[in-house]
Amino acid sequence: MTAIAIWFNNEMSENPSLWVASDSRVSNNKNSTLIDDAAKVFALPVVCRFPGEDGFFSQIGYFHTYGYCFAGSTLLGQNTFLALMPLLSNLATVQPYIPQMADVADFILQYLGRAFDDYKVIACEHSGVEVALFGWCHVTQKQHIFHYYPVKDDNEYVLKCTDYTDLNEKSFVYLGEDRKDMTQKIQKAFNGDSEPGRPLSRIPRYIIEEHIQNSEYKTIGGNLQLAIADRFGFRPFSICKPRAIGKPEAYLSYLGYELHQDIKNVGDAIVNLPGMV
């Protein structure tokens, strides 16, 4: 399964943001681990072009990246994301235009709904999926979290969407397993006090990380995925890990792999993910 938390962070009051933390484990239907380096949090680009002097849609009028994540069926979650990318990165209008995030979210709901309806016929009880779209809307000038989830309607499961906005320092949305337990733990932690190296503004990250490291949670594990979405777009982070606990030497890790040498350089360029301890 999965454990993902998205929450409002106001550490930089002039640029409030949404943070997301996730594990990276994929398990089978018997809760046995399949892989521990699964990507579940992605950057979803929305690109809208308008005609240039040559008459082709060659001018970019709008470009922005939102956060996109999923829990539940990996096949459905990843496949719908890969299908949405070329659609939403190839929008066109006759003049420069900024799509409202709610319109992007509604398009995603329509596509997800069709994909879910087809997949549930094949996978039945294993077709469950949750998805979230989150980030800054340049039209409303607000942060939004759109949460997609299945509900039973007339004895049949359909996908619904809730828009969370007007967020505050304790606002969060959880996707994944052990929902009641995890939600209570995050809420309780938000109602507590900051500790050295454990600020309240980042508390869901530490809750997720503790469950990744706890072997009692068989379907939550692997490595921590961490990213931030703000008015500049979506930015994934690498994790700074010590080579030995208590010693200063450290390295940057992405999905458990060290960003070094063969997976760091691209010609004369380097992978430049910012790191976070």
pLDDT of residue 177: 81
What is the band of 184 on the pLDDT scale with cuts at 50, 70, 90?
Answer: very high
- Domain 3-238 class in CATH: alpha beta
Q: What is the mean pLDDT of residues 237-247?
A: 86
Q: For the chain, what is the radius of gyration of the CA atoms? A: 19
- Chain-centroid distance of CA 94 in Å reads 32
pLDDT of residue 140: 95
pLDDT of residue 260: 84
pLDDT of residue 215: 84
Cα four-point dihedral sign 22, 25, 28, 33: negative
What is the band of 112 on the pLDDT scale with cuts at 50, 70, 90?
Answer: very high
pLDDT of residue 41: 96
Most confident of 34-48, 107-121, 143-157, 192-206: 34-48
pLDDT of residue 119: 62
Indicate whether 169 pLDDT > 90: no
pLDDT of residue 179: 87
pLDDT of residue 125: 58
pLDDT of residue 203: 94
Q: What is the mean pLDDT of residues 111-131?
A: 72
pLDDT of residue 270: 87
pLDDT of residue 27: 83
Indicate whether 187 pLDDT > 90: yes
Indicate whether 122 pLDDT > 60: no
Indicate whether 72 pLDDT > 80: yes
Task: Give the DSSP letter of residue 197.
Answer: T
What is the band of 120 on the pLDDT scale with cuts at 50, 70, 90?
Answer: low
Q: Which residue has the tokens 């308008």?
A: 50
Q: Which residue has the tokens 């921590």?
A: 224
Residue 222 Cα distances to 36, 79, 120, 125, angstroms: 4, 21, 27, 25
pLDDT of residue 156: 78
Indicate whether 235 pLDDT > 80: yes
**Three-class SS of residue 129?**
strand
Indicate whether 166 pLDDT > 60: yes
pLDDT of residue 230: 96
Judged by average pLDDT, the poorest of 7-21, 109-123, 125-139, 176-190 is: 109-123
Cα four-point dihedral sign 23, 29, 31, 36: negative
pLDDT of residue 98: 95
**Three-class SS of residue 147?**
strand
The verdict on pTM exceeding 0.75 is yes
pLDDT of residue 137: 96
